[in-house]
Structure 1
Amino acid sequence: MRKWTVVLAVLAMATASLGMAQQNLIKVNLQLKWFPQAQFAGFFVAKERGFFRAQGLDVTLLPAGDQSPIQVVQSGAADFGTTWIADLLVARERGIPVVHLAQIFQRSGFTLVALKSTGVKDLCKDLKGKSVGVWPSGNEYPAVALFRKCGLTSSLDPRAANPDVKAVSYPFDPSLVFPDKVQLVSAMTYNEVNQIAGLGYDESKVDVFKLADEGINLLEDLIFTTERVLNERNFKGSGLTGRQVAARLIRASLQGWDWAVKNQAETVEKYVLPFCGNTCKGSGSRADAKGHQTWQMAEIAKLYNAGATTKGWAGFLAPADFQASVKLLRDQGILTKDPPRQAVDYGPWEEATGKKAADYK
């Protein structure tokens, strides 16, 4: 009996220690850029497989609401967020002290889709006189950059009296405008391209123009925060600085993304479908929920497994890619000056990975 008493006492102490450890987890809110879907698979995996917890973090993944991730993080309602690099740099120029921490997607998935019957073969030559569906709230910047790179004015520019291109803003569901109201429509490789196919316009009926192939490789999903969060000396009373918490978040997130990309089928089945709910299927997609998310996961993996990731530097923003984005945005007048040095902080990523940004080749 004495032996079992000792065993039970040890078990009770272990259970109590586990409970205390869970109570001591640091609560972190991560604002996602869109509704739950495979676009955020790595974060779902990091949460459900305990990678965040192993770093001492209790992470709540917040789906998109009426506000942009930058607004939510700036307000303090979230500590970190995901967004696109153009949106982050424009916000920075407008005085919002957001900071780029880690680059998840290493290639842009932004496309313009047109019916083959429209005769659009070369964007710069054939866009004039066309109507183009674009997204609001900073998601239009890649299309704007393309228009300006091609020397075309658009209705997005209030100074253009007779614009070459009519931009039609639409709320992300291509069926609302394509092909009845616009000849070309914005579409991500991993989402709307499949939705458009589901509307009856598959690869045999459309041309998909990837903006990255047109020299508009404005990188998308990244992790960011504000200078205020990074400068916290005692993040939410945890005893850790904001920079230390950022490093832990990055470390667990990259672990989740690596696992998700290597185990796509299991990721979709166990970690995406339970999260995505009504957004699983995608409006108009040609497949059921599982089919659409499987498509999306495969396309997302291509954006993750590119650039720096292929060199073993997942999450790293290559300086050349950053400078290319800045130059493109400046050349097109979307930015009026170079962003300050504080717009990108490699420190948390370096702490998370053990690598030094200066060693990247």
Structure 2
Amino acid sequence: MKKLVLIGLLLGGAASAKDLVQVKLQLKWFPQAQFAGFFVAKEKGYFEAEGLDVQFLPIGDQSPIQTVVTGTADFGTTWITDLLTARQNGLPVVHIAQIFQKSGFTLVALKSSGINKPADFKGKRIGVWPSGNEYPAVALLKKYKMTSSLDSSVARPDVQAVTYPFDPSIVFPDKVDLVSAMTYNEVDQIVGLGYSMDKIRVFKASDYGINLLEDLMFSSERVLNNPNFKNSGMSGKEIAAKLVKASLKGWDYAVKNQKEAVSIVLPLCGNTCKGSGTRADARAHQTWQMAEVAKLYNAGPTLKGNAGLLDAKTYASNVKLLRDLGILKSAPPASAVDYSIWEMATGKKAK
């Protein structure tokens, strides 16, 4: 990280470090290609060109919501479910840009298990993640009218959920029949455990209408409503727009120059570069990851020239799904999403 900051200060020339506004961006997970666009924006000087000195705060397997709400971070990345449940609980977080336009959540089974379609999940054990990350699996089960042991009110659930801490090698395939896996991470880790793609069946939640959006950018009402962010002379919304503008430029470059983006990520991800049980070296895993996150970025509004825009219909369907699951008790307030930040960043009107 220190190397990245140094490079960032050397780029751009004109502005000195003391002229830049310090911004702390909390990432949802450890440094990896999942966040390549942000790292590229730093490396290429896109943040500095906007007058920002952006510091990344990797948080591991915790939610970034708390660090943003408490002021440890100014902005963060998280999933739509995390954001909306936090908002329901009274935490004043605000969606400002949607990076991934398609869900990368999957459930993976061995082909030899005989699980060929969602209806076959009944009676099986499914590995899920904690802290709200289980919701896509729950949604998929509910769509096929199945209950799980995650619901304590159900005496005889159709599916037994096994919570595990993000490393599929801990439970798959001995302790579960299906395991949660992101297309860009755990799927490749499963391949690395010796189960090649021709031996596994990958059920992508989005293929079954469960497209709960993931990596987004957010902040707090406190930050956005600040008329003089860190004595910069600019409002929190102006800073947010600059951050989003540079981030989207970084993502666009990363997706179009994936090999270079991976080379930028590798010095930053340390022991997490390779993942657990991956099939080859760190570069191979991050190359896989970059290719897969590019697919999640290059979908929906991005394909129409509106990268970073939260599609209103997709958002509405996400809210409906979460309400149907009982995760949201009511529709979130309009203030949970601030489209003006994206409009300021892009010079376009949200449609």
Rounded Cα–Cα distance in structure 2 between residues aligned with 1:306 and 1:337? 28
More deviation, 248-257/65-74: 65-74
Q: Which amino acid aligns with 1:234?
A: N
Give the match for residue 25 of structure 2: 30
Change (3 A) 1:324 1:255: same
Give the match for residue 236 of structure 1: 230
Offset at residue 66 of structure 1 (A): 5.7
Rounded Cα–Cα distance in structure 2 between residues aligned with 1:287 and 1:21? 41
Rounded Cα–Cα distance in structure 1 between residues aligned with 2:241 and 2:15? 23
TM-score when normalising by structure 1 = 0.92
SS in 2 for 1:254: helix
Whether 1:314 and 2:286 are equivalent positions in the alignment is no
Rounded Cα–Cα distance in structure 2 between residues aligned with 1:297 and 1:275? 14
Q: Which amino acid aligns with 1:279?
A: T
SS in 2 for 1:185: strand
Offset at residue 21 of structure 1 (A): 3.3
Give the match for residue 49 of structure 1: 44
Give the match for residue 281 of structure 2: 288
Offset at residue 19 of structure 1 (A): 8.0
Change (3 A) 1:20 1:315: closer
Give the match for residue 341 of structure 1: 334
Rounded Cα–Cα distance in structure 2 between residues aligned with 1:220 and 1:254? 16
Rounded Cα–Cα distance in structure 2 between residues aligned with 1:77 and 1:160? 40
Give the match for residue 185 of structure 1: 179
Give the match for residue 3 of structure 1: none
After superposition, the C-alpha distances for 1:173-231 in whole angstroms (9 at most, x for unaligned) are: 00000001000000000110000001011111110000000110011100001111110
Mapping for residues 95-244 of structure 1, pairs under 5 Å: 95-123=90-118, 125-244=119-238
SS in 2 for 1:342: helix
After superposition, the C-alpha distances for 1:260-319 in whole angstroms (9 at most, x for unaligned) are: 0010001111x1101111100110111210000001100111110110000000000010
CA RMSD in angstroms, aligned pairs only = 1.4
Paired residue for 2:322, among 329, 345, 353? 329
Q: Which amino acid aligns with 1:242?
A: G
Q: Unpaired runs of 5+ in structure 2? A: 1-9
Give the conservation status (yes or no) of the 8 Å contact 2:28–2:61.
Answer: no
Task: Show structure 1 runs of 4+ deviating over 6 A.
Answer: none
Give the match for residue 3 of structure 2: none
Q: Which amino acid aligns with 1:104?
A: I
Give the match for residue 245 of structure 2: 251
Whether 1:305 and 2:298 are equivalent positions in the alignment is yes
Give the conservation status (yes or no) of the 8 Å contact 1:149–1:332.
Answer: no
TM-score when normalising by structure 2 = 0.95
Rounded Cα–Cα distance in structure 1 between residues aligned with 2:325 and 2:178? 21
Q: Which amino acid aligns with 2:173?
A: P
SS in 1 for 2:197: coil
Rounded Cα–Cα distance in structure 2 between residues aligned with 1:164 and 1:144? 12
Rounded Cα–Cα distance in structure 1 between residues aligned with 2:146 and 2:258? 41
Give the conservation status (yes or no) of the 8 Å contact 1:87–1:141.
Answer: no
Query: Identity, % of aligned pairs?
Result: 68
Give the conservation status (yes or no) of the 8 Å contact 2:28–2:62.
Answer: no
Rounded Cα–Cα distance in structure 1 between residues aligned with 2:27 and 2:34? 10
Rounded Cα–Cα distance in structure 1 between residues aligned with 2:45 and 2:94? 26
SS in 1 for 2:184: coil
Q: Unpaired runs of 5+ in structure 1? A: 1-14
Q: Which amino acid aligns with 2:46?
A: F
Give the match for residue 58 of structure 2: 63
Offset at residue 33 of structure 1 (A): 0.5
Give the match for residue 74 of structure 2: 79
Whether 1:350 and 2:346 are equivalent positions in the alignment is no
Give the match for residue 9 of structure 1: none
More deviation, 328-337/106-115: 328-337
SS in 2 for 1:204: helix
Change (3 A) 1:204 1:22: same
